[in-house]
Amino acid sequence: MQKKVAELESAGLAEREASTLVIGIDLGDRSSAYCVRTLGQQIVKEAMVVATATAIREAFQELRRQRVAMETGTHSRWLAQLLELMGHEVIVANARTLKLISESNQKSDKVDARLLSRRKAQRSSTFHRGARPLRSKSPKPASTL
């Protein structure tokens, strides 16, 4: 955990004011790519995080409230709930209507995370707040978070 805190501090993210960053997360079954950018579109951090509640907590707990964007998927419900409990604003994109990602020729977790953060920093209407409208197929019930 000390390593994660040191990474955040070295990137200056832990000191950032609330609601000044957008984090795009491309969810995967084992790991997820994320991209952190300013509202002015500057990328300040890109990394991978293991797709577990513990790893997500460690990766994002030192941040003040920020906006997090992700696509709908198997893990989006529990992850959105966890991030909301941590105080972040979570925006979930309907994967079918997010053509920027679904029709992209450059498919990779890193590229998708970049596109999610860029799109939300532009205030796209493709996103919906919170995890409530989703139906989750996740094997991790919310009570285990």
- Taking only the tens place, the pLDDT of each residue in 17-61 is 878 899 999 899 999 999 999 988 899 999 999 999 999 999 998
Comparing 3 with 26, the larger pLDDT belongs to: 26
pLDDT digits (tens, 9 = 90+) for 71-128: 888 899 999 999 999 999 998 887 666 555 555 555 667 787 887 877 654 554 444 4
Whether the predicted pLDDT of 8 surpasses 80: no
Tell me the CA end-to-end span of the chain in Å, nearest whole number.
18
Which one has a higher pLDDT value, 10 or 91? Answer: 91
The reported pLDDT for the residue numbered 94 is 76
Sequence letter at residue 61: Q
Bridge partners, 24 (sequence order): 35, 69
Q: Which domains does the chain have, with CATH numbers?
A: 2-136 (3.30.420)
Looking at residue 142, what is its pLDDT?
Answer: 46
* pLDDT for res 44: 92
DSSP run (H or E) holding 82: helix 76-85
User: CA–CA separation, 107 vs 41, rounded Å?
Assistant: 20
Using a cut of 0.85, tell me whether the model's pTM lies above it: no
Residue 78 is predicted with a pLDDT of: 95
pLDDT of residue 17: 82
Q: Is the dihedral angle over the CA atoms 96, 126, 43, 19 positive or is it negative?
A: negative
Closest to 91 measured CA to CA, from 103, 76, 101, 104 = 76
3-state helix, strand, coil in the chain (%, to 5): 35, 25, 45
* Residue for token pair 């832990």: 14
Q: Rounded to an integer, what distance in angstroms lies between the CA atom of residue 22 and that of residue 41?
A: 9
